[in-house]
Chain A
Amino acid sequence: ETGVTQTPRHLVMGMTNKKSLKCEQHLGHNAMYWYKQSAKKPLELMFVYSLEERVENNSVPSRFSPECPNSSHLFLHLHTLQPEDSALYLCASSQAIGTPTVGDTQYFGPGTRLTVL
């Protein structure tokens, strides 16, 4: 596997379920990100991890809980979601958070299409 992979690609869950999204990067990067992509809205940054430490939490509800056990893996744990949480959830990684001269280009995974019933 190369690049950034995400599993599952599609997920349907009820409002009382607990599920997790998984992201894995095979690029040797130190920073990882979760984004939410909803129809007709800009991508929303949810969380940023650098060297396994959370450095940004963009006012995301507590029903979304991220976990970064090492620099290659990022999880998004979901519980008691609402129908409006249905969206495409994208993971990304970059070499660093840094400046234009450092490797801060973000590489995205294919996303998990989440539907909350």
Chain B
Amino acid sequence: GNSVTQMEGPVTLSEEAFLTINCTYTATGYPSLFWYVQYPGEGLQLLLKATKADDKGSNKGFEATYRKETTSFHLEKGSVQVSDSAVYFCALRVYGGATNKLIFGTGTLLAVQP
């Protein structure tokens, strides 16, 4: 079946530190991969996505590369800010079927300290 595994949090970093949040997936077919972010008290927002192998998604200084050989889509940022504190969700979608639904990971809480 299709599933997403991401590292458990919380991840606590100091401001300007390097961030990596690991995400691996299992999928039949050729999934599109996504990172969503949920700030406190808000809904999920799409952060970035990649639709095929070796694509790199990027937004707001965050990057993730679709690695088919390792079935991974790790999220990285070179220098985190306090405002990046949020829960980050990795997700996949395999196209086919009635709804092409998103499959989410459990989320990783990131806390950035000044």
Chain A residues in contact with chain B, CB under 8 A?
4, 6, 40-43, 45, 48, 50, 55-56, 90, 92, 97-100, 104-111
Whether A100 contacts B101 in the complex (CB less than 8 A), given A40-B106, A105-B49, A108-B43, comes out as no
Q: Dominant SS at the A interface?
A: loop
Q: Of the candidates A42, A45, A104, A110, which one forms a contact with B43 in the assembled complex, judged by CB atoms under 8 Å apart? A: A110
CB B104 to nearest CB in A, in angstroms, measures 4
Mark contacts of B25-50 with chain A using CB atoms, 8 A cut-off: 1 yes-contact digit, 0 otherwise: 00000001000100001111110010
Q: In the assembly, what is the distance between CA of A48 and CA of B100, in Å?
A: 10
With both beta carbons as reference points, the residue of chain A lying nearest to B100 in the complex is identified as: A97
Q: In the assembly, what is the distance between CA of A62 and CA of B95, in Å?
A: 28
Whether A42 contacts B99 in the complex (CB less than 8 A), given A110-B41, A110-B43, comes out as no
Q: In the assembly, what is the distance between CA of A106 and CA of B89, in Å?
A: 13
Whether A104 contacts B100 in the complex (CB less than 8 A), given A4-B43, A110-B42, comes out as yes
Q: Would you give 10 A-B contacts (Cβ < 8 Å), ordered by A?
A: A41-B106, A42-B104, A48-B101, A50-B99, A55-B99, A56-B99, A98-B100, A99-B95, A106-B46, A107-B46
Tell whether, in the assembled complex, residue A42 and residue B41 are in contact, meaning their CB atoms are under 8 Å apart: no
Tell whether, in the assembled complex, residue A106 and residue B45 are in contact, meaning their CB atoms are under 8 Å apart: no
Tell whether, in the assembled complex, residue A45 and residue B51 are in contact, meaning their CB atoms are under 8 Å apart: no
How many A-B pairs have beta carbons closer than 8 Å: the answer is: 55
Chain B residues in contact with chain A, CB under 8 A?
4, 32, 36, 41-46, 49, 51, 89, 93, 95, 98-107
Q: In the assembly, what is the distance between CA of A41 and CA of B3, in Å?
A: 13
With both beta carbons as reference points, the residue of chain B lying nearest to A48 in the complex is identified as: B99
Tell whether, in the assembled complex, residue B106 and residue A45 are in contact, meaning their CB atoms are under 8 Å apart: no
Tell whether, in the assembled complex, residue A56 and residue B46 are in contact, meaning their CB atoms are under 8 Å apart: no
